[in-house]
Amino acid sequence: MTLEQLSGAKVTVIGAARSGLAAAELLKAHGAVPFVSDQSSREKLERGVRELTAAGIPFETGGHTQRTYDCSLMVISPGVPSDAPVVLEAQQRGTEIVSEVELASWFCPGSIVAITGSNGKTTTTTLTGRVLGDAKTKHVVAGNIGTAFSGVVLDLAQKDIAVLEVSSFQLDHCKTFRPKVSVLLNITQDHMDRYGHSMERYAASKARVFMNQEGEDALVYCADDPWTMKVVPEARCRKVPFGLQQPAGDGAWVQDGTLVTRLNGVEHKVIAIGEISIPGVHNLYNSMAASLTGRLFGVGPASIRSTLRNFPGVEHRLEYVRNAAGVRYYNDSKATNVDSVWYALQAFHDPIVLLLGGRDKGNDYTRLLDLVRLRVKAIIAIGESAGTVENAFAGITSTHAARTMPEAVAAARDAAVAGDVVLLSPACASFDWFDNYEHRGKVFKELVNRL
């Protein structure tokens, strides 16, 4: 569907949360006839019901009726997987389906930076926005990070930059989406339950971030990530790698303890690794990606250095909470897969009491075994997968199953001594006990601050 065809067209938006509401309002502003459908109850969608009613946009809650399919275009909110029954039914009917970020991109007059990966998306997106902002470059940060792209796209001018966090679910339904710069951080096991337990399918979804890029469009990617390197040859645009080793051409790497960038043959020593404010090798990779993106838009190395020194990090990503009785508590609730937990454990050298578990996504904990044996003195297993977690680490370290988060925090406190780290890094989704990972992290922090 083209922009011209939107006028008067019936469009169904699936999802009445933040992105769905923004998409519906964007559609109405451009002459389409939107209808919003959400399977959640009316009580759970209080804000959505209020805003849709005020905007005069028809909607339904509690399920998807036949009216859902009376449309020529369906727009999918970020949280709706490709195998959702409503999506499969629309596909069978031949309805065109796009993601909210694809829809918004049709209206974007400026440049798009699209950041994806199994881990590090939010930190890198936020950091990239800070790199641009500190250099007085006009931009917005949106996407799967808190602000819907549809809600801000009409405020952009031709010289502005939209820095977007983009999930695999959003990319699944992108057709013409073309970033000026795409960033592929890594591809590791995540959402295996949604992709038929196939890494090939999941990797193909992530690779869609650069499928429409050509010519001087740039793909910034991690050369140290095996699955990323499997899909990069498909790219038809400029390729700019980052990694620990120096590339043959342009890119970013570590040399003598310093983050170095090279673009168009010009090298800059950006910052000593020890000066980067956020800890861990994964955040070194995130910093390289953000630095290269900033350089591609003309941000100078001195400005990037200042940003990397002062960036405070992102809530729920290895977030320091407090020191209680000599024990340091960290909230890493955003760690919803095994690989992100591996990087979190790598960031600490003191004994760790690890809170692990939740709603399992088809996790294979094998990768964690050696690191847990080396660094984790106890695991507090939480959520629906507590039994699975206990079985996975039986004989590797001490385990204890908790029935609630208050019980888990108390057990972690009892297991830790001065000098230890208590780390919430669950490797699982949060929807068994909580509304989302933010809710899980906030509850954890509240409990820790009461100790």
Side chain identity, residue 251: G
- In 3-state terms the chain splits into helix, strand, coil percentages (rounded to 5) of 40, 25, 40
Which pLDDT score, from 0 to 100, does residue 82 have?
Answer: 82
pLDDT value at residue 81:
81
Does the predicted TM-score (pTM) go above 0.75?
yes
Q: Which domains does the chain have, with CATH numbers?
A: 8-94 (3.40.50.720), 103-310 (3.40.1190.10), 319-449 (3.90.190.20)
Q: What is the pLDDT of residues 270-293, one digit of tens each?
A: 999 999 998 889 999 999 999 999
Q: How far, in Å, CA of 409 to CA of 380, rounded?
A: 9
> For the residues 304-326, what does the mean pLDDT come to?
93
Q: 236 near 242, Cβ under 8 Å?
A: no
Q: Dump pLDDT digits (tens) for 339-381.
A: 889 989 998 989 999 999 999 988 899 999 999 999 999 999 9
> Do 307 and 296 meet the contact criterion of CB atoms below 8 Å apart?
no
- What is the Cα–Cα distance from 210 to 111, expressed in whole angstroms? 14
User: Tens digits of per-residue pLDDT, 161-187?
Assistant: 999 999 888 898 999 999 999 999 999
Q: Is the pLDDT score of 192 beyond 70?
A: no
Residue 376 or residue 313, greater confidence: 376
Q: Out of 10-24, 182-196, 434-448, which region has the weakest mean confidence (pLDDT)?
A: 182-196
Residues pairing with 312 in the sheet: none
pLDDT score recorded for residue 399: 97
The per-residue pLDDT for range 229-266, each reduced to its tens digit, is 999 999 999 999 999 999 999 999 999 999 999 999 99
Q: Is the pLDDT of residue 189 over 80?
A: no
Q: Which residues contact 176 (CB under 8 A, 6 or more apart)?
A: 102, 105, 106, 212
Residue 275 is classified by DSSP as G
Q: At what angle do helices 437-449 and 405-415 cross, to 10 degrees?
A: 50
Higher per-residue confidence, 1 vs 93:
93
> What sign for the dihedral angle of Cα 372, 376, 379, 384?
negative
Mean pLDDT of 377-394: 97
Residues taking part in catalysis: 121, 144, 191
